[in-house]
Structure 1
Amino acid sequence: MKTARLEAFSDGVFAIAITLLIIEIKVPEDTSHLLTKLGELWPSYLGFVISFLVIGLIWANHHAMFDHIVTADRTLLFLNTVLLMLVVFIPFSAGVLAAAFRTGESERTSVVLYGVVLVAGGIPFNAIWEYARRNHRLLGPSITPAEAKRIARRFYLGPVLYGVGTLLGALVPALGIAVFALLIPYYWLPPAMHWLRKPQPAQPAE
């Protein structure tokens, strides 16, 4: 089957997941000291920003993958469903993270939970690309096998680096969050992005 319906469904799930992030930020009930109350919500703002950019990053790379994946089968649909399930779990883990830092309790546990969700999400993401590129079975002519392999190597780093951040967060929670935050620009601006774009048709000479 073609991938149009899969992509449309995925876009809808990404949109819902990224919107759910704002629900965790509760409006202060006591407005007598509003500035102070708003300031106390800084963990929620932090979780919102990091998670919004992470989900946006997953969506952008998912979109880029499906520039080259031109057909889908039931296995690919299943792998994509597992990925979306874990994406939708990010708002919950972000809420737990914010709550722990607001109270100052169980911060290590909350960072580990957040990191485990990110690591787990990287597994089906890599599986989608790996499955599609094997023998070029689901890819179109817009990418060569060598280019697909180079992209796969970069994707492999995601779960590993998030795993490192999770382990560091188990020791020093703030350090784990710093690693998660630093990986956002790393993957938003990858040097391999030109391989993820469809080639533009050559313009006829005038």
Structure 2
Amino acid sequence: MRGWFGSLRTVYQRDKPQRLPGVERDPVRLVFFSDAVFAIAVTLLVLEIQPPEDFGHLLEGLGRLWPSYLAYAVSFLLIGQVWVNHHVMFEHIRGIDRRILFLNTLLLLDIAFLPFPASVLAGALHAGEGLGVAVVLYGVTFWVAALLFNVLWAHARMGGLVDAGALPDGGRAITLRFATALVWLGVGTVIGVFVPVAGMAVIAAFIPAYYLPIRGE
């Protein structure tokens, strides 16, 4: 009997999935938690839009809120792109380690902050002042998110945590997509220092450009 149990233990140990040192095999919980943060971030965006106080001239008052509508729409679509990028990336990551957990936490820290620069941008558009600073703050916040995506993806690839099926063509396509976002948002932010409206237009133009196909994707 003891020999039978010993054989069973050997088979179990042999067939049991082996974890790499410092690696958590299943990233599902990380993705679920990240989705919750993205959902909260896009929900908070709408709280910046306050209804007009003068209901006697409601249509005119609603029209004056166009900066809030603009900041809301652009921010929602950009955060939506970040969410899509996050899912695309983790569809190819087969396991996570502590560095990925830390980098993803920094990314979520940035995402949760995004409703604030969106509110500042809307306020600057309303006031007609401080638009340059508002655009730079807005652009830098999204640029940091793009930077963290590139660092996280690079670590996953170099650490052997990416599914081999995603490489090389798929991996290069994702790398190109993330690098393009970093450069594009950076250029828009720099332009915003000198010509705020043009800088914001460049940042917003990344929304339709993101959906253009990339070879190998």
Give TM-score scaled by structure 2 length: 0.85
Matching residue of 1:171: 194
> Does the CA-based 8 Å contact 2:89-2:174 persist in structure 1?
no
Deviation at 1:72, TM superposition (A): 0.5
Structure 2: which amino acid aligns with 1:159? Answer: L
Structure 1: which amino acid aligns with 2:177? Answer: R
> How many percent identity over aligned positions?
48
Structure 1 distance, partners of 2:170, 2:123, is 43
Matching residue of 1:33: 57
User: Which stretches of structure 1, 4 residues or longer, exceed 2 Å deviation after superposition?
Assistant: 192-195
Q: In structure 1, which of residues 83, 88, 91 is the aligned counterpart of residue 107 of structure 2? A: 83
The DSSP-based 3-state class of the residue aligned with 1:8 is helix
Alignment of 1:44-55 (within 5 A): 44-55=68-79
Shift in alpha-carbon separation, 1:111–1:140, aligned structure 2, 3 A = same
Instruction: For residues 135-186 of structure 1, give each alpha carbon's deviation from its aligned partner in whole angstroms, at most 9, with x where no partner exists.
Output: 5x11123311343134213311212111111111111211111111110111
RMSD across aligned C-alpha pairs, in angstroms?
Answer: 1.4
Structure 1 distance, partners of 2:203, 2:84, is 17
Alignment of 1:132-171 (within 5 A): 132-134=156-158, 137-171=160-194
Matched, 1:96 2:120: yes
Matching residue of 1:63: 87
Matching residue of 2:140: 116
Unmatched segments (≥5 aa) in structure 1: 196-206
Deviation at 1:193, TM superposition (A): 8.1
Unmatched segments (≥5 aa) in structure 2: 1-23
Q: In structure 1, which of residues 157, 180, 200 is the aligned counterpart of residue 203 of structure 2? A: 180
Structure 1 distance, partners of 2:155, 2:161, is 8
> Does the CA-based 8 Å contact 2:143-2:185 persist in structure 1?
yes
**Structure with greater contact order relative to length (CA < 8 Å, sep ≥ 6):** 1
> Does the CA-based 8 Å contact 1:133-1:145 persist in structure 2?
no
Shift in alpha-carbon separation, 1:104–1:165, aligned structure 2, 3 A = same
Deviation at 1:194, TM superposition (A): 6.3
Structure 1: which amino acid aligns with 2:128? Answer: G
Give TM-score scaled by structure 1 length: 0.89
Matching residue of 2:12: none
Corresponding residue pairs, total: 193
